[in-house]
Amino acid sequence: MTYDLHVHSRVSDGTQSVPELVAEIADSDLEGFALTDHDSTAGWTTAAKEAEKHGLDFIPGMEISCSSNGVSVHLLSYLHDPNYQPLLDEISRARDSRTQRAQRMVELLAEDYPISWADVLAHTGEGATIGRPHIADALVSAGAVHNRTEAFANVLTPQSKYYVNHYAVDPVRAVQLVREAGGVPVMAHPRARSRGRVASAELIEEMIAAGLAGLEIYHRDNPEEDRRWLESLVTEHDLLATGSSDYHGGGKLNRLGENTTDVQTVFQLRTLAKV
Ligand code: AMP
Ligand code: FE
Ligand code: FE
Ligand code: ZN
């Protein structure tokens, strides 16, 4: 009886539609899942319906883009009110900025690669939250790289000359907003060093003080050597420790259910929600 609390669909940068994704989950050993598309809850209704059809337990979620002094932080929110306006304002600002940023990155890339904005849109679900994975897909179609992973290894890294930042809410503020919206904030892959700079211990402590409910400790991007420290934070502050795959369909090496969360932790998570 385990759950995968972090998966993506074409509502953001996963490669599967919500029904395709839920059908794959139904074929796995998982009891339930949380759909956590970036900065969007547009998949919730379909996911709930499909989950019910397949007898799966569904937890509505979202992965909020955050930024603190140039460090990118991802905050998972579970079970929040999707109509809470102050949180909606922040994610819509991030989504608009993501679109402008992707357009700018494509302008820069187009100087060296045969890609256009239309190519990127062709790989993006309607109304989806745009990210670098969609630019990667355009680069694959243009024959510049073999897959998303190769695109992220060089052309699209934060160190690349084509990289552009986007607006994202401060992570401490995001924790407060999720709580105000009745949701349960869990920090995604807290030590994902391979992606660039990570949140400092001080920042994580500030997020905990602001109401952070849990840490996604069991995620492939957290180095083994950091996990004991994360576990000690969970004990010290009485937090939830979650595990998940961050599955993106065929777009990433992460396999569905490669890390999971037990049903007791999911039960505790539900009791923390206020909606
Ligand atoms: P962005 O949201 O535009 O900053 O792009 C970052 C997103 O790209 C992350 O949320 C991941 O979903 C995805 N990503 C990061 N690294 C890789 C990779 N190596 N292969 C495929 N997707 C990746
Ligand atoms: Fe993603
Ligand atoms: Fe993430
Ligand atoms: Zn994710």
Give me the CATH code for the 102-155 domain, please: 1.10.150.650
Q: Average pLDDT for residues 190-202, to the nearest whole number? A: 89
Ligand 1, residue 63: give the atom nearest the CA.
Answer: 10
| Nearest Cα residue to 209 out of 243, 228, 236 | 236
What pTM does this model have?
0.98
**How many other C-beta atoms are found inside a 10 Å radius of the C-beta of residue 246?**
25
Please identify which residue in the block is written with the tokens 């890294």: 157
**152 Cβ below 6 A of ligand 1:** yes
**249 Cβ below 6 A of ligand 1:** no
pLDDT tops 90 at residue 25: yes
Which pLDDT belongs to residue 143? 97
**What type of residue is 203?**
L
pLDDT in tens, 121-172: 999 999 999 999 999 999 999 999 999 999 999 999 999 999 999 999 999 9
pLDDT tops 80 at residue 206: yes
Ligand 2 ion: nearby residues, β-carbon < 5 Å: 13
Residue 111 has which token pair? 């100087």
Work out the pLDDT band at 195, boundaries 50, 70, 90: confident
- How does the average pLDDT of the chain come out, rounded? 97
CATH topology of domain 2-92+166-272: TIM Barrel (3.20.20)
Closest ligand to C-alpha of residue 195 is 1
pLDDT in tens, 88-122: 999 999 999 999 999 999 999 999 999 999 999 99
Which pLDDT belongs to residue 275? 72
pLDDT in tens, 211-257: 999 999 999 999 999 999 999 999 999 999 999 999 999 999 999 99
Domain with CATH 1.10.150.650 in the chain: 102-155
pLDDT tops 90 at residue 194: no
| Contact (Cβ atoms closer than 8 angstroms) between residue 45 and residue 272 | no
Q: Rounded to whole angstroms, how far apart are CA atoms 197 and 21?
A: 31
Domain with CATH 3.20.20.140 in the chain: 2-92+166-272
Ligand 1, residue 65: give the atom nearest the CA.
Answer: 2
**251 Cβ below 6 A of ligand 1:** yes
Ligand 1, residue 101: give the atom nearest the CA.
Answer: 3
Work out the pLDDT band at 1, boundaries 50, 70, 90: confident
| Ranges assigned E (strand) in 29-134 | 32-35, 57-68, 71-78
pLDDT above 70 coverage of the chain, percent: 100
Which pLDDT belongs to residue 78? 99
